[in-house]
Amino acid sequence: MTAAPTAYDKAATDATRGVAVELTGLHRSYGPVQALDDLNLRLAPGELVALLGPSGCGKTTALRCLAGLEDPDSGRIEVGGLDLTRVPTNKRDLGMVFQAYSLFPHMTARQNVEFGLQLRRQSSQQRRARAAEMLDLVGLSTQADRFAHQMSGGQQQRVALARALAIEPQVLLLDEPLSALDAKVRVQLRDEIRRIQLEVGTTTLFVTHDQEEALAVADRVGVMRSGRLEQIAAPEELYSRPVNDFVADFVGVTNRLPGDADAKSATVLGGSVPLLVGSATSGPVTVLVRPEHLVVHADPNGPDAVTSVSFLGAHGRVIVGLAAGGQAIVQVPSSAVSNYPPGTRVTVRPTGEAALAVSART
Amino acid sequence: MRRRQDLFRWVVVTLTLVFFGLPLFSMLEFTTRDSAGHRTAATWSALADFGVISTRYPDLRAGFLASVGLAVLTVVVMLVLLVPTMTWVRLRLPGLGRTVEFICLLPLTVPAIVLVVGLTPVYAWVTYFLGGNAIWLSFAYVVLVLPYAYRSLDAGLRAIDVRTLSEAARSLGASWTTVMLKVILPNLRTAVLSASFLAVALTLGEFTIASLFSRTNLQVAMYLIGKSDAQISIAVGLASLVFAFVILFAMSFVGGARSATSPLARLRRNRKELT
């Protein structure tokens, strides 16, 4: 019997260019702080993996170790089958885009893109052609002669991306490249990064603390905590089948509702919810239910009451005070938000989607 | 109210000009009169003729050449010592930043005469190994200019994100030498020029250490000539001030000309756009 193909296998099969990356048993500590604790991570050729986690979880350290900007205390870094653990940064053939604006201020956009090519001793004609191609790829061919201070933050990060890709790196490393940008530009550039990555097929590691960003662009998302990978999976799987309450809590919004587990299901808010693999299976449990997996009905005799509502554009959220204690966040269509003014008596029920249950003590 | 402010400004500007201008004017006046009080350009034409200076005032020639050599060597040694050190400390050893700052600022608190006492045994060895040429005073001068150069370079390094720029360059394949020469230094141009100017100004004006070590630089030569020919000594003093001003002007012009935001660069860009 063969195992079902994972997202990693799928990416490996789809890859047209790019190389495999493997981090094995990486450890890195700063004094008493363990930034990486036995980190194991594989990237298939051409795959885009996002590392997600709270501040200090070690995601940037992992990326910097791969870039050679930090030395791991122990462990092994392989790119394209070659051991790069002790190879200096400038010999690793990696492209990197930083969180801070990193264009060389004394150079124009074109000169910035040509910098890496110049170091590779390409002729000025080749450099110019490649720089023009890359600036065109990021939609900035008209800004080639501008200096960094003459460009917006989004444009600067685009040029930085063009500069990193111009050298045709084996691996592209993105260290929170969008975090300094405003919301609208962030979404545009995020989609552009994905488009370009798919176009050039470079294996990419993307570090971010923004879950929406990670879920939107990555083939797989790894959630990190205290220097370890808690779960790495395709975005849909990570969202719908988190392996523990940390991942469930960190990715998306989660209701922690009291329930009673009985083997493969649990009773929550008077309804039955199938339990995901890894759930606690007996006794009182806390069931982690997504807002869209709950329904709310106006019911004059209902046990619960709406405490507040919020309109979020495409949908709305109704926050309900539960008679059993605590509260539940329920997602409703935006057109229904006005049906639930605060104080409305309601009943809340699960839709029956599978959820993770953890022991009631945690 | 506004009129009173304008008046106050003019008074301040006038007083400042008089304060700085009057001694300079007096120097010029003194060097353009002969012993009978008639106007003459003899002193300045003698000064303009390097051949005459060399024959009549060999000390002045030697002092001038020594001071120019000292200025160049001091600037080079200071930059080679400070720029990589300060960049490296900022990148890799930020904990040492305070210590380096303390060491660099220390000469500010040590009077030149005390410095000479401390340096005497060192220079005994310098003379033993390298000879008694005045050029070797540059080692002492590097120590003297450290506080000023440190401040200028520190301001320049603070103005750029050294870590990100160097990491970006490294990730693109640059060696540390390339990072320094092609990324850090071009962005420190103004700071380097300002540190260099301070070093040049301090070196050209230094008297105490050279005199106490019995070496002849420009200031010592001027002092020696002043004993026998006050006019040429004062003329040299005035000329060296003008020389320092020209260097300052040239340095700021050269520094600004290559900057993207300088008025000259803007002018060039505008012209280019118009054509």
Tens digits of per-residue pLDDT, A228-256?
999 999 999 999 889 998 998 899 889 99
* Cα of A40 vs its chain's centroid, Å: 17
Q: Each residue of B206-234: pLDDT tens digit? A: 999 999 998 999 999 989 988 888 888 89
pLDDT band at residue B275 under the 50/70/90 scheme: very low
Count CB atoms within 10 A of the CB of residue B16: 10
Task: Name all domains of chain B by residue range, CATH numbers in brackets.
Answer: 57-255 (1.10.3720.10)
Q: Give the per-residue pLDDT at B60.
A: 86
Over pLDDT 90: what percentage of chain A? 65
Give the contacts of B258 (CB within 8 A, at least 6 positions apart): B189, B265
Residue A209 has pLDDT above 60, yes or no: yes
Cβ of B174 and A119 within 8 Å? yes
Residue type at A304 in one-letter notation? D
A7-93+169-240: in CATH 3.30.2000.10: no
In whole numbers, what is the pLDDT of chain B averaged over residues? 87
Cβ of B172 and A67 within 8 Å? no
Q: Which residues of A touch B161 (CB under 8 A)?
A: 100-102
pLDDT band at residue B256 under the 50/70/90 scheme: low
Q: Give the per-residue pLDDT at B257.
A: 53
Question: Which pTM does this prediction carry?
Answer: 0.78
Pairing of β A356-359 and β A282-289: antiparallel
Rounded to whole angstroms, the Cα distance separating B25 from B32 reads 11
- Chain B residues whose C-beta is within 8 A of a chain A C-beta are 160-161, 164-165, 167-175, 178, 182-183, 186-187, 189, 260-261
A147 Cβ under 8 Å from any chain B Cβ: yes
Q: Each residue of B32-66: pLDDT tens digit? A: 988 888 888 888 988 888 888 888 888 888 898 99
Rounded to whole angstroms, the Cα distance separating A16 from B156 reads 46
Residue A331 has pLDDT above 90, yes or no: yes
Q: Give the per-residue pLDDT at A7.
A: 52
Q: Which residues of B touch A67 (CB under 8 A)?
A: 167, 171
CA angle, residues A80, A82, A86, in degrees to nearest 5: 130
Query: Which residue is closest to A114 within chain B, CA to CA?
Result: B172
Specify the higher pLDDT residue, A263 or A58.
A58
Query: Which residue is closest to B259 within chain A, CA to CA?
Result: A106
Q: Give the per-residue pLDDT at B250.
A: 77
Q: Give the per-residue pLDDT at B260.
A: 47
pLDDT band at residue B272 under the 50/70/90 scheme: low
Contact present, A263 and A245 (Cβ < 8 Å): no
When CB atoms are compared, the residue of A90, A104, A163 closest to B170 is A90
Query: Which residue is closest to B160 within chain A, CA to CA?
Result: A105
Over pLDDT 70: what percentage of chain A? 95
* Pairs across A and B, CB distance < 8 A: 72
When CB atoms are compared, the residue of A68, A104, A173 closest to B183 is A104
A291 Cβ under 8 Å from any chain B Cβ: no
Residues A328-354 as b or e (16 or more Cβ within 10 Å = b): bbbbbeeeebebbeeebebbbebeeeb
Q: Give the per-residue pLDDT at B86.
A: 95
Q: Residue A251 gets which letter from DSSP?
A: S
DSSP notation for A202-239: -EEEEEES-HHHHHHH-SEEEEEETTEEEEEE-HHHHH
Cβ of A102 and B172 within 8 Å? no
* Mean pLDDT value of segment B104-123: 89
Cβ of A90 and B168 within 8 Å? no
Q: Which residues of B touch A156 (CB under 8 A)?
A: none
pLDDT band at residue A2 under the 50/70/90 scheme: very low
Closest to B247 (Cα-Cα) out of B79, B67, B86: B67
Give the contacts of A43 (CB within 8 A, at least 6 positions apart): A20, A21, A22, A49, A171, A203, A204, A205
Residue A354 has pLDDT above 50, yes or no: yes
Cβ of A67 and B171 within 8 Å? yes
Q: Give the per-residue pLDDT at B273.
A: 47
Rounded to whole angstroms, the Cα distance separating A359 from A284 reads 7
Give the contacts of B88 (CB within 8 A, at least 6 positions apart): none
ipTM score of complex: 0.82
When CB atoms are compared, the residue of A69, A90, A101 closest to B173 is A90
Cβ of A120 and B174 within 8 Å? no
Cβ of B173 and A120 within 8 Å? yes
Residue type at A72 in one-letter notation? P
The torsion region of residue B185 among left (phi > 0), alpha (psi -120 to 50) and beta comes to alpha
A96 Cβ under 8 Å from any chain B Cβ: yes
Rounded to whole angstroms, the Cα distance separating B135 from B72 reads 10
When CB atoms are compared, the residue of A91, A96, A149 closest to B168 is A96
* Mean pLDDT value of segment A93-122: 94
pLDDT band at residue A343 under the 50/70/90 scheme: very high
Domain ranges of chain A: 7-93+169-240, 253-359
Contact present, A279 and A285 (Cβ < 8 Å): yes
| Lowest-confidence region among A49-58, A99-108, A242-251, B240-249 | B240-249
CA distance B188 to chain A (A): 10
* Mean pLDDT value of segment A293-307: 91
Q: Which residues of B touch A104 (CB under 8 A)?
A: 165, 168-169, 183, 186-187
When CB atoms are compared, the residue of A96, A120, A147 closest to B171 is A96
Residues within 8 A of B (CB atoms), A 47-76 only: 67-69
Query: Which residue is closest to B260 within chain A, CA to CA?
Result: A106
Cβ of A104 and B167 within 8 Å? no
Q: Which residues of B touch A164 (CB under 8 A)?
A: 171-172
Q: Give the per-residue pLDDT at A120.
A: 93
Residue A45 has pLDDT above 90, yes or no: yes
Cβ of A95 and B168 within 8 Å? no
When CB atoms are compared, the residue of A89, A100, A105 closest to B171 is A89
